[in-house]
Structure 1
Amino acid sequence: MTPAIDVSGLNKSFAGKHVVQDLSIQVAEGRICGFLGPNGSGKTTTLRMLCGLLTPDSGAGSCLGYDIIRQAGEIKLRTGYMTQRFSLYEDLTLRENLQFMARVHGLDHRDRRVSETLERLGLSARRDQLAGSLSGGWKQRLALAAATLHEPRLLLLDEPTAGVDPKARRTFWDEIHALSAQGLTVLVSTHYMDEAERCHEIAYISYGRLIARGTAEEVVAGSNLITFRGEGPGIDRLAGEVARRPGVLTAAPFGAALHVSGTDRAALEAAIAPWRCDAYRWTEVAPTLEDVFIQLMSGAQDNYQ
């Protein structure tokens, strides 16, 4: 498939801090790629370099067939970008915000485009409501309308559903998949594992470096994790003690249960042996993407230290 994003060796530093380090990534047209990683890992900086808002210190590549350095202006025209924070005008109505964005993009038939976008995202009934009076989920939907009004070929989403309720998140993702089915390429940063699993593929960036890439199933399989799930009264309170045992990479409470993971089966079984008793029940389970995420985070070195 033709790559919509094809960059290699991207580097970016701020005030002596190497925020993005030799990052290479390819995303095919029409694919949804989840961008994961701890806070401060360079995800936002990478998104901004891809769409031409930041110039990399070094590296090269293309987005939508245009050079990310020499043709950044062409990329901007064909890219939709949703920032982490709501960035539209709160003292304008939904319709007025979209009309303003249509003028910014120099679109023709502005009234028709705005009406169609409002209808597509279920915003028509609120068209005359002030944007500042919307709840988080509706603000997110308006921001998506503004980002896709000019019919971009690439959509960059920076933690778009943070603080949004599950129903609104599901509606948002249904729309993203509908857009992808029409050929739109999407790169979305998220901390929600259920959202990552809804992506066609994921990329995990750890303090500026890309360290895992593939489908969710491929990333889980590539971790070589073995996971045991412990259940019983108060077992989640043992996480700290179990985590200190040899062979344990992560010990994380999951509700009232405890997930204990490692890559050495014998060492892992020896680690949980003191708690194999009538009070607790242990079963081997398939590691989840969250187990892998926690493992990757525990092994990551903060480049600000």
Structure 2
Amino acid sequence: MVEPRHASAPPEIAIDVSGLSKSFGGRTVVENLSMQVRRGSIYGFLGPNGSGKTTTIRMLCGLLTPDSGQGTCLGYDIRRDADRIKLRVGYMTQRFSLYQDLSVRENLEFVARLYGMARPRTAARDMIRRLGLDGREEQLAGELSGGWKQRLALGACTLPGPDLLLLDEPTAGVDPKARREFWNEIHALAAEGLTVLVSTHYMDEAERCHEIAYIAYGKLLAHGTVEQVIAQSALTTYTVTGADLNGLSAELANKDGVDMVAPFGNSLHVSGRDAAALETSIAPYRARDGIAWQKSEPSLEDVFIELMGRSKDNFR
């Protein structure tokens, strides 16, 4: 018999929390966080190391009890129904956590039996086929490359049919081709109704998410679609090309109105939140010979770097 679910959140909302806070050893790791995640969406969490991303994700799905705040995950109360939530969650960590000395097939069959699936061999065989692991069934997991290990770990996490998938920097150390194939599969799973929470440092991965949240030292500073987060930043950005960009970067770094200076290939991105102050500071450099200034749309990486700089100052 399926237990009745908490009815406070609309059915299209997978996660609905408010006022979540968590401290460890007197240090606040997450402070007064509120957010919603829609079912079938891929929600990305960005932020510096130690910013509270993993703690936030664990509280959202009942794996960690908040000190204060409330909410629901998959219709269940995150405080009262944590054990029920855990049964519906798949969790893929950075570190490969399957048995290195078992084959691909044996690992998947073991997971299927662990979850009491009726036909473990069939379930493992279907997952092998879905993830393109055909021909590698009898290969030991420890002998797989990083990309294939990642694919196997994803198969093990999703084999029991969870409603929510947690990915903690899942593609660290994986080549670009394997990363792209991994994300293609994540989007296919989301299209089937799976909700995905993922922490990442890669901008191209953040841009593959339906929505993103930027967390720094326990505080949610920005969230929404990539387009919304860029718009909310209110950054004015210039792309600068020409000679001695390194010298120009050093000159601009501490000017009023210049919130970010960062090299991008053969160009320099110069951004500021106060457009008037930025224009005043860069005016003397606009006519410099051998340098071209082009006003441009800020990238997600521009916003990320600017938020990191601001967060560091707040933390200090």
For normalisation by structure 1, the TM-score amounts to 0.96
Q: What is the Cα-based RMSD across aligned positions, in Å?
A: 1.6
CA distance in 2: counterparts of 1:23 and 1:252, whole angstroms: 30
What residue in structure 2 maps to residue 231 of structure 1?
A: 241
SS in 2 for 1:126: coil
Q: What does residue range 60-209 of structure 1 map to in structure 2 within 5 Å?
A: 60-209=70-219
Instruction: Work out whether 1:58 is the aligned partner of 2:68.
Output: yes
Q: Is contact 1:17-1:304 (8 Å) kept?
A: no
SS in 1 for 2:100: coil
The residue type equivalent to 1:138 in the other structure is W
Q: 1:271 aligns with which of 264, 268, 281?
A: 281
The residue type equivalent to 1:27 in the other structure is V
Q: CA deviation at 1:66?
A: 0.8
Change (3 A) 1:138 1:292: same
Q: Is contact 1:36-1:202 (8 Å) kept?
A: yes
Give identity over the alignment, percent.
65
CA distance in 1: counterparts of 2:139 and 2:162, whole angstroms: 26
Q: Provide, for residues 194-247 of structure 1, a one-character-per-residue CA deviation record: whole Å limited to 9, x for no partner.
A: 111111111111111111111100110111100001111231453233111111
CA distance in 2: counterparts of 1:184 and 1:211, whole angstroms: 26
CA distance in 2: counterparts of 1:237 and 1:183, whole angstroms: 51
Q: CA deviation at 1:121?
A: 0.6
Q: 2:36 aligns with which of 26, 34, 38?
A: 26
Q: CA deviation at 1:86?
A: 1.3
Provide structure 2 residue ranges, at least 5 long, that are not aligned to the other structure: 1-10
What residue in structure 2 maps to residue 298 of structure 1?
A: 309
SS in 2 for 1:245: coil
CA distance in 2: counterparts of 1:302 and 1:154, whole angstroms: 35
Instruction: Work out whether 1:283 is the aligned partner of 2:312.
Output: no
Q: CA deviation at 1:57?
A: 1.5
Q: 2:59 aligns with which of 38, 49, 56?
A: 49
CA distance in 2: counterparts of 1:282 and 1:209, whole angstroms: 35
What residue in structure 2 maps to residue 2 of structure 1?
A: 12
Provide structure 1 residue ranges, at least 5 long, that are not aligned to the other structure: none
Q: Provide, for residues 165-205 of structure 1, a one-character-per-residue CA deviation record: whole Å limited to 9, x for no partner.
A: 11111101110110111111111111111111111111111
SS in 1 for 2:174: coil
Change (3 A) 1:273 1:165: same
What residue in structure 2 maps to residue 261 of structure 1?
A: 271
Aligned residues: 305
Structure 1 stretches of 4+ moved >6 Å:
none
Q: Provide, for residues 41-69 of structure 1, a one-character-per-residue CA deviation record: whole Å limited to 9, x for no partner.
A: 11111222233322212211111001111
Q: CA deviation at 1:130?
A: 1.2
